[in-house]
Amino acid sequence: MNKHILIKLRGIFMIFTILLAIYFIIVHLLISNTAAERPKENADYIIILGARLHGERMSLSLYYRALEALEYVEGNQNTIIIASGGQGPGEDITEAEAIKRFMLEHGIEQERIILEDTSTTTYENLMNSYSFIEDDNKTVVIVSNDFHLFRAKMIAERVGFNNISTLSAETPKVAKVKLWFREYFAVLKSWLIDR
Q: Does residue 7 sit within a domain? A: no
pLDDT tens for 29-49 read: 999 999 999 999 999 999 999
> Taking the C-alpha atoms of 175, 178, 182 and 184 in order, what is their torsion angle to the nearest 10 degrees?
100
Q: Does residue 98 sit within a domain? A: yes
Q: How many folded domains does the chain comprise?
A: 1
Q: Does residue 19 sit within a domain? A: no
Q: Does residue 18 sit within a domain? A: no
Residue span of the structural domain in which 43 resides = 33-192
Q: How many CB atoms lie within 10 A of CB 12?
A: 10
Q: Does residue 150 sit within a domain? A: yes
Query: In sequence order, what DSSP letters do the residues of 37-92 get, joined into one string?
Result: --PPTT-SEEEEE---EEBTEEPHHHHHHHHHHHHHHHH-TTPEEEEE----TTBS
Burial class, 138, CB count within 10 angstroms (exposed 0-12 / middle 13-18 / buried 19+): middle
Q: How many CB atoms lie within 10 A of CB 61?
A: 22
Q: Does residue 185 sit within a domain? A: yes
Tell me, what's the pLDDT at 195? 55
Give the pTM. 0.88
Residue 56's domain is classified under what CATH number?
3.40.50.620
Tell me, what's the pLDDT at 134? 77
130 CB-near residues (< 8 Å, 6+ apart): 156, 159, 160, 161
Q: Does residue 15 sit within a domain? A: no
Per-residue pLDDT of the chain (195 residues; tens, 9 = 90+): 677 777 788 888 889 999 989 998 999 999 999 999 999 999 999 999 999 999 999 999 999 999 999 999 999 999 999 999 999 999 999 999 999 999 999 999 999 999 999 999 999 999 999 999 978 789 999 999 999 999 999 999 999 999 999 999 999 887 778 878 888 888 888 877 765
Q: Does residue 138 sit within a domain? A: yes
Quote the mean pLDDT of the chain.
92
